[in-house]
């Protein structure tokens, strides 16, 4: 589902964030991306949904060639990719229900079907009872669950999470992880950049470690292995 070969990324200011990445990720995998701050983790994930374009190399995601994809086709690529951020990025004036419904790519669906899909996904993240709340009325963990609901409402094949537990306390972080695991069990590939050593070393999954823009370690049931 994801294949990178000889990928380099140099930003306009001259900083080289990725220095020759080769990686293959299959549909259904759960992958942690670890590394010190500035190692290149965010850049690595941003390349997958064309938030950033590689300077060199080849990238295939869900059968799209990201080096040659036309601007007008990028929205189709992104339809199959959900993204979750550390700081949630919800629309503050919309309710929980509206934040999720807003993201739904509606193609001639009946209002009834839309409502059902939004409520189903809110049920999946256990927030059905807060559909009418606005983000400010929710705890951090609840806001992150809304952002997960928004990310999966279109049934994406790939979910990218950039430090999804970075702003949350340990108990809340575990809640988020259980939800991500359930999503992965249903077949969605998950790529999660994280500094959460406890989670990586407990929920053992594939670990890709990045240092100075290079993959320095790639293990199928890996460990965190940093002192931060
Ligand atoms: P990480 O997510 O591991 O902290 P990043 O991918 O954010 O790493 O950053 C890798 C390197 O690229 C860092 O040196 C960072 O300063 C640089 N960088 C990231 N984004 C940009 C940008 N938009 N413009 C210039 N340099 C950037
Ligand atoms: P935490 O401190 O764990 O982040 P909070 O104390 O902020 O959680 O919230 C605890 C519960 O109270 C949550 O379920 C949240 O939805 C609810 N809550 C918090 N603030 C409000 C509010 N202004 N209006 C309605 N419910 C709220």
Residue 69 confidence (pLDDT): 97
Q: Whose CA is nearest to atom 27 of ligand 2?
A: 137
ipTM of the modeled complex: 0.76
Residue 107 confidence (pLDDT): 67
Q: Whose CA is nearest to atom 11 of ligand 2?
A: 139
Say what percent of the chain tops pLDDT 90: 93
* C-alpha dist (Å) from residue 136 to 96, 129, 142, 147: 10, 16, 10, 13
| Residue 22 pLDDT level (bands cut at 50, 70, 90) | very high
Q: Whose CA is nearest to atom 4 of ligand 2?
A: 139
Domain boundaries, the chain: 90-155
Q: Is the CB of 96 under 6 A from ligand 2?
A: no
Q: Is the CB of 138 under 6 A from ligand 2?
A: yes
Listed residue (191, 199, 222, 196) closest to 209, CA to CA: 222
Six-digit token pair at 215? 């993959």
Let me know: does 65 contact 58? Beta carbons within 8 Å: yes
**Each residue's pLDDT tens digit, 24-59:** 999 999 999 999 999 999 999 999 999 999 999 999
**Each residue's pLDDT tens digit, 68-120:** 999 999 999 999 999 999 999 999 999 999 999 988 877 677 889 899 999 99
Q: Please give, one letter per residue, the 3-state secondary structure of 35-80.
A: CCCCCCHHHHHHHHCCCCCCCEEEEEECCEECCCCCHHHHHHHHHC
Average of pLDDT values for 159-175? 96
Is the pLDDT confidence value at 228 over 60? no
Six-digit token pair at 160? 């990218």
Six-digit token pair at 101? 């419904």
Rounded mean pLDDT of the chain? 95
Strand partners, 208: 33, 218
Q: Is the CB of 137 under 6 A from ligand 2?
A: yes
109-114 long-range contacts (CB < 8 A, ≥24 apart) are: none
- Ligand 1 pocket check: which of 10, 12, 17 to mutate, most ligand atoms within 8 Å of Cβ? 17
Q: Is the CB of 140 under 6 A from ligand 2?
A: yes
Residue 220 CA, chain-centre distance (Å), reads 19
Strands (E), the chain: 2-10, 16-25, 30-34, 56-61, 64-65, 81-85, 158-162, 189-193, 206-211, 214-219
Any idea which ligand is nearest the CA of 19?
1
Using CA atoms, how far apart are residues 118 and 7, in angstroms rounded to an integer? Answer: 37
- Ligand 2 pocket check: which of 95, 122, 128, 139 to mutate, most ligand atoms within 8 Å of Cβ? 139
Residue 105 confidence (pLDDT): 76
**Each residue's pLDDT tens digit, 138-151:** 999 999 999 999 99
Measured in Å, residue 23 CA sits from the centre of ligand 1 at 19
Let me know: does 49 contact 81? Beta carbons within 8 Å: yes
Q: Whose CA is nearest to atom 12 of ligand 1?
A: 17
Q: Which atom of ligand 2 is nearest to the CA of 133?
A: 25
């Amino acid at each position: 589902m994801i294949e990178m070969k000889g990928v380099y990324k140099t930003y306009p200011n001259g900083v080289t964030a990725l220095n020759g990445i080769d990686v293959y990720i299959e549909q259904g995998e759960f992958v942690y991306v670890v590394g010190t701050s500035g190692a290149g983790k965010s850049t690595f994930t941003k390349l997958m949904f064309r938030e950033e374009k590689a300077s060199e190399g080849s990238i295939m995601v869900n059968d799209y060639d990201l080096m040659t994809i036309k601007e007008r086709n990028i929205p189709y690529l992104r339809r199959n990719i959900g993204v979750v951020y550390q700081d949630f990025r919800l629309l503050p004036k919309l309710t929980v229900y509206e934040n999720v419904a807003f993201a739904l790519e509606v193609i001639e669906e009946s209002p009834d079907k839309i409502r059902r899909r939004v409520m189903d996904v809110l049920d999946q993240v256990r927030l059905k009872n807060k559909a009418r709340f606005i983000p400010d009325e929710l705890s951090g963990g609840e806001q992150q669950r809304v952002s997960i609901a928004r990310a999966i409402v279109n049934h994406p094949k790939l979910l990218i999470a950039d430090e999804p537990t970075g702003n949350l306390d340990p108990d809340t972080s575990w809640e988020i992880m259980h939800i991500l695991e359930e999503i992965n069990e249903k077949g969605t590939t998950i790529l999660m950049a994280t500094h959460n050593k406890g989670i990586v070393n407990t929920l053992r999954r594939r670990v890709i470690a990045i240092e100075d823009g290079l993959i320095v370690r790639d293990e199928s049931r890996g460990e965190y292995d940093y002192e931060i």
